Every structure is written in structure tokens, then in C-alpha cells.
Amino acid sequence: MEIDNFFIMDTNRDLIDELIRTGYLKSERLIRAFEKVDRKDFVPLEFMAEAYGNYPLAIGYGQTISQPATVAFMLEKLQPELGDKVLDVGCGSGWQTALLAELIGPTGRIVGIEIKDNLVILGNQNLKKYNYQNAKIIKGNGWQGLPETAPFAKIIVAAAAEKIPKALAEQLEIGGRLVIPVGKGQQDIVVVDRIDESHFKEQHYPGFIFVPLVEH
């Protein structure tokens, strides 16, 4: 799947309507989350006029806030449920973390990990705009995940790995799901379902480009 429809919309409603029209936003719960959590609250001031553009935006430190269509696509594949415990790897400015906090509700829990100190601070500042009590962002290595907090019902990764990190797959609970971009150059988004202790099922969706998953 190739996402290349780069448009600038004037309002969050315009963006949501475009994502629905193009088939990236489908489920009612995810549409409501996009309505509640406004992307403009997570982009740098210098890009505020482009907050509703359907393309990635730089957030500093070599990282980006992902294209809205890509975020919608990955969250539709992740299928977060009320009460889920979720790990958000490479959460950047916190937009996807906030969307997930909305989707899993107050009985759920989400931990975002970000390897860059400045982005940990930025992401937590942005989350405070919504006063979520079920979400936080901490410093961590995306390749290693968060074993002390595992297992997770869902894990999502917003940066590309050359291969699926074994540590992340092993931190899924049985029946859990990992969504991660994998590959060099143009990447596949891979959906990994844990069947049992030693068996996993993969589905691949090609045609995406992400920044690399940083190791240090």
C-alpha cells in the first residue's frame, strides 16, 4: 500500500473527513479518537499552519510526527480495545500515544518509550494538554522494549526496524498483537499476532517509509 496523498486541510474535521473518504479511518471508535485528540497540539509551532497536512512533519532531533493516514492505518490494524495494556515505541511528540490513551479508556494503560530525552519531555508536555491519567512517556530503547512491564496486549512501533525485534515479540501476551514497519528503504508494515508461547503469525502491508528505529 502506497500512501502518497499529501494534502493540507484547514481543520481537524477536514483531515478526518479526508481520511474517511480515502479509506484509512474506518472504525467509529478510532474516528472519535481523532476527533478528540487534535494533531495541532502535537506539532511544533513553526509547522502549526501545516498541522492538518496529510504528510509527516519534523519535530526535531531527526524525528517526525507520522503522516495521519499512516497513523490511522496502523491503529486500524492494531485494534486497541478498552482496558488494553499498550506499549508505544518511538512515540515522538505524543500524538499517537494520546490517541491510544483515548482508545483504551481509563481502565487501560499505555506506556510510550522514546530514546531521546528531549522528546520524552516534549511528549509528556503534550500529553498534559489532555490530562490522561492512563498514559506516560519514559526513556527507553525501542529494540529492547519494556520487559519489566510486559506482557502487553498491544505493541506499536513508529520507526522502522531492519527485522522484527525479538524482544518486542516476546513481550506480547498470548493473543497479543504487534504492528511495526520493517525493512530498508521502502518498508512493510508488519502485523504480528502471538498465537502461543512459540508461534507467531505475520501479515505484511508494503509501501511505507519511516525514520529508522534508533538503538542508542
Residues annotated as part of the active site = 66
**213 vs 22: CA distance, rounded Å:** 28
Find, among 198, 87, 182, the residue nearest to 144 by Cα.
87
The three grid cell numbers given for residue 21, joined into one nine-digit string: 473518504
CB count, 10 Å around CB of 161? 22
CA dihedral 160, 152, 104, 30 (to 10 degrees): 30
Give the whole-angstrom CA distance, residue 197 versus residue 181.
23
Angle ∠(68,26,122) on CA atoms, nearest 5: 30
CA distance 71 to 194: 22
Q: For residue 111, what is the enclosing H or E element?
A: strand 109-114
Contacts of 166 (CB under 8 A, 6+ apart): none
